[in-house]
Amino acid sequence: MTLFRILLRICILLALCNSNGFSQDLLNYANSLKYATFLFETKQYQGSAIEFERVVFLAPNDTSAKLQLIKSYRYSGNYTKAKNRLENIFPENINSLPTDFAKEYVKILLHDYQYDNLTYFLKVNQYLSFSDAIGYQYGSLIMQNKWHEAKIFKDKNINKLSQFNVFASLKEIEKKGLNDKYKNPLLASGMSALIPGTGKLYTNQWKDAIYTFLFISAASYITYKSYENNGFSNNTIIFGSIAVSFYLANIYGTHKSAKRYNQRINHNYTHKAEEILLNN
C-alpha cells in the first residue's frame, strides 16, 4: 500500500471521528460502516472486505453489510473467499439463499465453471425470479458454447428471457456462435494428407504451411534422388524416414491446429459471456 493511500485512510478515519465527536470510538459500527462503504464505492475492494468483516462482527444481523462483504471479495477477485463466507453466513442450506445472495452464488459458480452445480442450484432455489433463473441458465449454455442447445432453450423461453437484463447481449453472442466458421479437424487432416501444408493454410497458419510444404517437398525430393542414384542406401532410408515422419507429424499437427483454432473462438465467446453475466 502506498504512503498516499495510508495517509488518505487516516484522514478519512479522522474525518469520520470529527463528524461525530472526538470522544466517539473510531472503530464503532457507524464509523466502520461509513468507511467500508467509502472503500467499496471507490472500488478499493480488498480494503472494503476487511472493513465489512469488522461491520459484520459488530452487527451480525446486518444483512446489507453481509451482502457487501460477499461482493467485496468477489469484486477483488477472491471468489474462493466469497464462496466460503457465503457458506459460513448460511451454513444450513446453501441452496436456499435469499435473492441477492443467490445471485452472488450464481456468479461464483459461473466464474468457477461449475455448470452442473449451477443448473441444480437454479432449479431448487426458490428466491430467484424465474426470468433470472432461466437467464443465468441460458448464459451458462453460451459459456459452454452449446450453441444449438442455447438456441432451443431461448426459443422455448423467449418471453421470460426477454425480461433478463442482459438477454440482448447474450443473444448476440449466441447468434455469432451459431454462425461462426469453425474448422473441421478431419478436413484439415485430409487436406494435409493430400498436399502437405494445405491443412495449415485452412487453419490460417500461413508461415507453418509454407515451412511444412517446403520441408516435406525437399525431404521427399532428396529421398527420391538418393533412391534413383543409390537404391535403398542408408542415406535413402534416413531421408525417407525424415520425410515420412514429418509428413505424419504434419497430419497430426494439423488436426490439433484445427482444434486449437476452434478452442480460441470458444474461449473468446466464453470470456465475453462471463463478463456480461458477472457484471449484471
Question: Which regions of the chain are under pLDDT 70?
Answer: 1-26
Angle of helix 147-156 versus helix 167-179 axis, rounded to 10:
140
Q: What share of the chain is helix, strand, coil (3-state, %, to 5)?
A: 80, 0, 20
Take residue 60 and report the three cell numbers written for it: 451480525
Give the integer Cα–Cα distance in Å for 142 and 146.
Answer: 6
**Sequence spans of domains, the chain:** 8-89, 100-180, 185-270
Axis-axis angle for helices 99-111, 130-143 (nearest 10): 10
Segment 222-273, tens digit of pLDDT: 887 777 777 777 777 787 788 788 788 888 888 998 999 999 999 999 999 9
**Predicted TM-score of the model (pTM):** 0.79
pLDDT of residue 21: 47
Domain 8-89, CATH number (from 1.10.3720.10, 1.10.3370.10, 3.60.20.10, 1.25.40.10): 1.25.40.10
